[in-house]
């Protein structure tokens, strides 16, 4: 089953994959879509497709960085222009998932570092640019943090997708590990990593 999914993803048109790698991260904080579909999903797929040889890995990293930065810049601009009211206009189903108090504390305590830290947590990634804009963070400061955070995040996620595909094929072929056992191991590692990042961001 896993092989079929991998083959289907690798078989996607490269232009479509790169488009998704730009668009999904761009929509995260500009439309709060990241509360529903995290942008790293598209970049992970891009990394997997790159491992299959249909795309160069650098193109996936570049597209993810552009998408992440564009989305955050749009979110920052919306926060500067409309203030806190922009969050009040979000659909109710999304507002229930917003952790505004946590995002405000993070921006107040960490400043530009909040933009870097928040990029690693989907809920914070969607709202930190808005909070930075409403809180009056200077644009040059935000821009530098945004570019650095977007590049590091896109690179890490793309490489994770690339290495994940390589590791899956190696483990299944050479070690004979069953698909479901392998999926459980991967899921546990990813869940532990996300938990640690969120715990660190909260403190």
Average pLDDT of the segment spanning 88-107 = 65
Residue 81 lies in a domain: yes
User: What is the number of alpha carbons within 13 Å of residue 170 lying toward its C-beta?
Assistant: 7
Structurally, the chain folds into a number of domains equal to 1
Residue 200 lies in a domain: no
Residue 197 lies in a domain: no
| DSSP-derived 3-state class of residue 136 | coil
Is the pLDDT score of 157 beyond 90?
Answer: no
Q: Which of 97, 88, 95, 71 is nearest to 134 (CA)?
A: 88
Six token digits for residue 105: 């504390």
- The Cβ of residue 153 has, within 10 Å, a number of other Cβ atoms equal to 22
List the domain range (segments joined by +) for residue 64.
2-162
Dist CA 174 CA 177 (whole Å): 8
| pLDDT of the residue at 148 | 92
Residue 26 lies in a domain: yes
Q: Tell me the pLDDT band of 135, cut-offs 50, 70 and 90.
A: confident
Residue 203 lies in a domain: no
Is the pLDDT score of 182 beyond 50?
Answer: no
Six token digits for residue 162: 């690339």
Residue 142 lies in a domain: yes
Work out the end-to-end distance of the chain between its first and last CA atoms, rounded to an integer number of angstroms: 40
Which is higher by pLDDT, 31 or 152? 152
In sequence order, the 6+-apart residues with CB closer than 8 A to the CB of 55 are 14, 17, 18, 46, 49
Residue 88 lies in a domain: yes
Is the pLDDT score of 74 beyond 50?
Answer: yes
Residue 185 lies in a domain: no
Is the pLDDT score of 69 beyond 90?
Answer: yes
Cα 144 to the chain's mean position, in Å? 18
């Amino acid at each position: 089953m896993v092989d079929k999914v991998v083959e289907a993803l690798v078989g996607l048109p490269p232009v479509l994959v790169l488009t998704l790698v730009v668009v999904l991260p761009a929509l995260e904080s500009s439309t709060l879509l990241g509360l529903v579909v995290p942008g790293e999903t598209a970049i992970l797929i891009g990394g997997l497709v790159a491992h299959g040889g249909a795309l160069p890995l650098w193109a996936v990293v570049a597209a993810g960085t552009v998408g992440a930065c564009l989305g955050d810049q749009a979110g920052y601009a919306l926060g500067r222009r409309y203030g806190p009211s922009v969050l009040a206009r979000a659909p109710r189903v999304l507002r229930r998932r917003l952790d505004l108090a946590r995002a405000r504390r993070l921006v107040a305590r960490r400043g530009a570092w909040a933009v870097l830290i928040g990029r690693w947590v989907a809920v914070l990634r969607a709202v930190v640019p808005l909070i930075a804009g409403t809180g009056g963070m200077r644009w040059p400061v935000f821009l530098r943090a945004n570019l650095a955070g977007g590049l590091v995040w896109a690179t890490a996620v793309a490489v994770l997708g690339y290495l994940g595909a390589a590791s899956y094929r190696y483990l299944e072929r050479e070690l004979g590990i069953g698909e479901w056992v392998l999926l459980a191991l991967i899921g546990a590692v990813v869940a532990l990593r996300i938990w640690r990042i969120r715990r660190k961001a909260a403190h």
